[in-house]
Structure 1
Amino acid sequence: MSEAIDSAGIFPGGTGAKAAPAYAKAAARLIPALVFLFILAWIDRVNVGFAKLTMLSDLKLSEAAYGFGAGIFFLSYFLFEVPSNLLLEKIGARKTLARITILWGLNCVAMAFVKNETWFYILRFTMGMFEAGFFPGVVLYLTYWFPAARRAKINGLFMTSFAIAGIIGGPLAGLIMSTMGGVHGYSNWQWLFILEGIPSVLAGFAVMRFLPDRPSEASWLSKDEAQAIENDLAADRKAIVSETSFKAALADWRVWLCALIYFGIVSGNATIAFWTPSIIKETGVTDTLKIGLLAAIPFIAGTIAMVWNGGHSDRTGERRLHCAIAALIAAVGLAATASLIGSGGSAALVALTVAAIGILAAFPVFWTLPQALLAGTAAAGAIALINSIGNLAGFVAPYLIGISATVTGSATSGLYVVAAIELVAAILVFAFCRWQAVKR
């Protein structure tokens, strides 16, 4: 499998031929496992968007209350993310990712037993607290295995989990919601949380047993292959001139710029994650299984765009335009969705698909920008800081759309606001992100 991956050109450029088999092996072993974990995380994070279709009436929650509960996840995410990533740097990815995965799975199961608005808010907050550190932890973890010249593609391969989760999660949620209602006295949304939370708990124990922290600990790499990877990573660290303390990272204006840009990108991502089922329902589709199947379409297109954009960025060595153009496409797609959502038919779904293409394509290239600036503890803290600040958009965007839906009966005005935020992110990348990742 590793030879097939390398011969297919998954990792163009970068270091010499001696290291290529090692990177192919690392990709073949690590990426499927990390993608699987993120799929579980993503499904458990956003299944509330499908549960919403019947949960709101059962619990007598308003659209604004739902938007607040969906978004409060990101407030706790913000508070606990940096400490989690700094801890990962000290104790390793295996223990950190196992802890995170087990706890969010248990929290997801607990969501099935929510009885009122207060407990909805509490469990959404603790879900963010438990999951905090997972995504930036994986981004940091991949820097222990792949040098800068290979990271846009490897980030893209990992971040296909965003889209794959949408492809799998929509139909799966639709199937559970359409078939499990009333079984053993539980509502369909309760079964959704139970059946999607248990696999995460089991996966966490598997992580503890099988995930290596560093190349030197991987039994499936020879000593020469592990050393080849370490040599490349050491060369990367020498090429990064920034100090390696977290304090130094906080003083770098580019770190804060990246956080602001990421806020814009995530605002679009949170929108399609939490509101795609509702947007499809507003077009006139009422069957939950059909909503789930249609919700997969934007994520399928986004998967293809994500991998292509990351690979093309690696091949050309260009980062800024690849990220800025993707964010611009996202802005156009979201604005078009807002203008078409009330017309019914497929036009709004096409526009939403365009938005997903831009949103998802921006992610893998974006993360090469801060990774080109920092190393060591500074990288661990800065990646978490950027992700935590950026993910505040995960609170702001759903809440804005929830208010819009409550006040006007439609998500239209909220979508326009998110489109404007994406546009600002595109402008900032184009105007200010003029540094490039390390190239050899």
Structure 2
Amino acid sequence: MDATVTRKVLWRLVPFLMLCYFVAFLDRVNVGFAALTMNRDLGLSAAVYGLGAGIFFLGYFLFEVPSNIILEKVGARRWIARIMITWSLVSASTAFVVGEWSFYAVRFLLGVAEAGFFPGIIFYLTNWFPSEQRAKVVGTFMMAIPISSVIGSPLSAWIMAATDGSHGLAGWQWLYLIEAAPSFLLGFAVLAYLADRPEDAHWLDAEERGWLAERIARDRRERVQVQKISLGQALIHPRVLGLSLVYFGVSTGLYGIGLWLPQIVKDFGLSTLQTGFVTAIPYMVSAVGMVLWTRHSDLKMERTWHVVIPAVVGGLAFAAAGYAPSPTLAMIALSVAALGVFSAMPTFWTLPTALLTGSAAAGGIALINSIGGLGGFVGPYVIGWVKDVTGQFSLALLAIAGFMIAAGLLTLVLSSIGAGTRITHSPAE
């Protein structure tokens, strides 16, 4: 029954959640393509763009934990639907920013609207898949990130080129309006499609529902010593904070490349449409590599080194990209850097889900994602500031390399602290 039920759950949930995350990430980072002409139209400097692109994560940081705690109480189906509908409306409104401050405001509100989406889905998946399958499942789900860029990069470039000037709107304005529509529609689809728990899954028969619910409950009990503490204590637990810093370092690389790669590639002397196709290359490499890497992690049931190796290698590749003597070598290095980022991230998420259960999982995963997500603020801003000061990307990519390598080394340190202990929320304390 194990393989049959797992296959049913996998095919029912993961493709749909991938589609939701695909449009989420597209709405989050399409600002990188819009910037190819938006910055000129609005008079935004590289530093202003970097700050605005990254300020998304300040709103995300402030509302992540409350959002995920609400999700755990009201159910993923209703809360994820609310998140998607809200963020689609805010994302579309980016088409009407008129300058620096309105750009900052809309990006901040987009972070507020989307807060809780990614960690909510990570928490949601722990209700459906046991720990030994999670790296593969999370890795498959997170393929939506590179796929969104493989498809979204040339698509965004084409939309901007094809719609520029239509009905008095610039191509970058149409980009925001068109790419917000799928999120709005999918928000309503979530209400009809998702079930909160195995017990609610009408697409499984009664025996399968009972077996899966018991399998997940047994997974939470076995192989670990449970440390019961208050939710507040869980949020300041040293390992939770340490994992937040690891994710901070990896996120710096993810959003440093995600929000600036189109402009780095455009500096090679390419057209907007050419930039769209070339930008997709690192993500194509990453989509394949992250699946193979996470499956290898599940096969070996090893997590630490499957985070450390890609984080360190990715960091070294960022450094190499900044000083590559030709565009071809720079793209090879950036592809390796992206592969490192996307291979480290899904395996990383097996660490907090193995550590935390119950309300501690909802709050702790959200905290890790929110603090870690601040790397999405630091990465784009550092690149923009250094680009304004030096006129080139080399030193900025070197700084991103440092964050990635530090994340890998910190993972090694944390692996020796409190291994085998799981943290759960005890309301009585």
The two structures share one fold, judged by TM-score above 0.5: yes
| Structure 2 equivalent of residue 404 of structure 1 | 386
Asked if 1 retains the 8 angstrom alpha-carbon contact of 2:310 and 2:344, the reply is yes
Counterpart in 2 of 1:326?
A: 310
Q: CA deviation at 1:23?
A: 1.1
Write the letter of the residue equivalent to 1:70: A
Q: TM-score of the superposition, structure 2-length normalised? A: 0.95
Residues 227, 421 of structure 2: 8 Å contact kept: no
Which residue, out of 347, 351, 358, partners 1:376? 358
Deviation at residue 344 of structure 1 after TM alignment: 3.9
**C-alpha separation between the residues in 2 aligned to 1:125 and 1:254?**
29
Matched with 2:427 is none
Contact conserved, 1:260 with 1:390, CA < 8 A, in 2? yes
Q: Is the 8 A contact 1:19 1:225 kept in 2?
A: no
CA contact (8 A) 2:262 2:275 kept: yes
1:33-75 CA-partner distances (Å, limit 9, x unpaired): 1000111010000000000000011111111100000000000
Q: 1:169 and 1:433 mapped to 2: Cα distance? A: 36
Residue matched to 2:263: 278
CA deviation string 1:138-185 (max 9, x = no partner): 000000100111111101010101111111110110111111101111
Q: Which residue number corresponds to residue 5 of structure 1?
A: none
Find out whether 1:73 has 2:49 as its counterpart.
no
- Which residue identity lines up with residue 365 of structure 1 in the other structure? T
Q: Hey, what's the Cα distance between the residues in 2 that align with 1:284 and 1:227?
A: 59
Q: How far does the alpha carbon of each residue in 1:303-344 deviate from its partner, in whole angstroms, 9 at most, with x for none?
A: 11111111111111111111100101110110011112xx44
Superposed, 1:108-119 pairs within 5 Å as 108-119=91-102
Supply the distance in 2 between the matched residues of 1:345 and 1:124 (Cα, whole angstroms): 31
Q: 2-side partners of 1:401 and 1:46: how far apart? A: 15
Between the aligned partners of 1:275 and 1:68, the Cα distance in structure 2 is 12
How far does residue 429 in structure 1 lie from its aligned partner after superposition? 1.1
Letter in 2 for 1:425: A
| Alpha-carbon distance in 2 for matches of 1:44, 1:65 | 19
Corresponding residue to 1:248 among 215, 233, 237: 233
- The structure-2 alpha-carbon separation of the partners of 1:202 and 1:244, relative to structure 1 and needing over 3 Å to count, comes to farther
Task: Give the whole-Å Cα distance in 2 for the aligned partners of 1:436 and 1:52.
Answer: 46
The amino acid across from 1:319 in the alignment is: R
Say if 1:242 and 1:375, in contact at 8 Å, map to a contact too. no
Is there any run of 5+ residues in structure 1 with no aligned partner, and where? 1-17
Q: 1:267 matched to which residue of 2?
A: 252
User: Equivalents in 2 of 1:63, 1:296: separation in Å?
Assistant: 22
The residue type paired with residue 166 of structure 1 is S
Q: Distance in 2 between matches of 1:97 and 1:345?
A: 41
Deviation at 1:436, TM superposition (A): 6.4
Residue number in structure 1 paired with 2:130: 147
Match of 1:192 among 164, 175, 178: 175
Query: Shift of the alpha carbon at 1:126?
Result: 0.3
TM-score by length of 1: 0.93
- Whether 1:337 aligns to 2:307 is no
Cα distance in structure 1, aligned partners of 2:229 and 2:200: 24
Q: CA deviation at 1:345?
A: 2.8
SS of the residue 1:307 aligns to:
helix
Give the Å deviation of 1:244: 6.2
For 1:250-289, what per-residue CA distance to the aligned partner results, in whole angstroms no more than 9, with x for missing partners?
342111110010101111001111011011112222x111
Say whether 1:414 aligns with 2:399.
no
Which residue pairs with 1:12 in the alignment? none
Q: Secondary structure at the match of 2:227?
A: coil
Q: Tell me which of 1, 20, 27 is aligned to 2:3.
A: 20
Measure the CA separation in 2 of the matches of 1:149 and 1:246. Answer: 26
Conserved 8 A contact 1:302-1:361: yes
Give the match for residue 181 of structure 1: 164
Paired letter, 2:403? I
Q: Report the identity percentage.
A: 46
CA contact (8 A) 1:318 1:436 kept: no
Count of residues paired in the alignment: 418
RMSD, aligned CA: 1.3
Unaligned 5+ runs, structure 2: 423-429
Are the counterparts in 1 of residues 235 and 367 from structure 2 also a CA contact under 8 Å? Answer: no
- Aligned equivalents of 2:274, 2:86: Cα separation in 1: 31
Cα distance in 1 between the residues matched to 2:229 and 2:365? 13
In the alignment, the residues of structure 2 paired with residue 245 and residue 96 of structure 1 have an alpha-carbon distance, to the nearest angstrom, of 24
Report the 3-state secondary structure (helix = DSSP H, G, I; strand = E; otherwise coil) of the residue aligned with 1:372. Answer: helix
SS, match of residue 255 in structure 1: helix
**CA distance in structure 2 between the aligned counterparts of 1:242 and 1:324, rounded to whole angstroms:** 26
- Which deviates the most, 235-244 or 330-339? 235-244
AA matched with 2:227: S
* 1:317 lines up with 2:290 in the alignment: no
**Which of the numbers 200, 204, 225 marks the counterpart of 2:208?**
225
User: Structure 1 residues 237-246 or 211-220, which shifts more?
Assistant: 237-246
> Separation in 2 of the partners of 1:114 and 1:227?
51
Q: CA 1:99 to 1:407, structure 2 compared with 1: closer, same or farther past 3 Å? A: same
CA distance in 2, matches of 1:86, 1:99: 14
Quote how far apart the aligned CAs of 1:248 are. Answer: 3.4
Residues 213-269 of structure 1 show CA distances to partners (whole Å, capped at 9, x for unaligned) of: 111111211111111111111112213412264223134211111001010111100
Letter in 1 for 2:274: K
Q: Residue type matched to 2:316 in 1?
A: V
Task: Show the counterpart of 1:166.
Answer: 149
How big is the shift at 1:437?
A: 9.8
Structure 1's 119 and 264: CA in aligned 2 closer, same or farther, altered over 3 A?
same
User: Equivalent residue for 2:369?
Assistant: 387
- Structure 1: how far apart are the matches of 2:204 and 2:99? 51
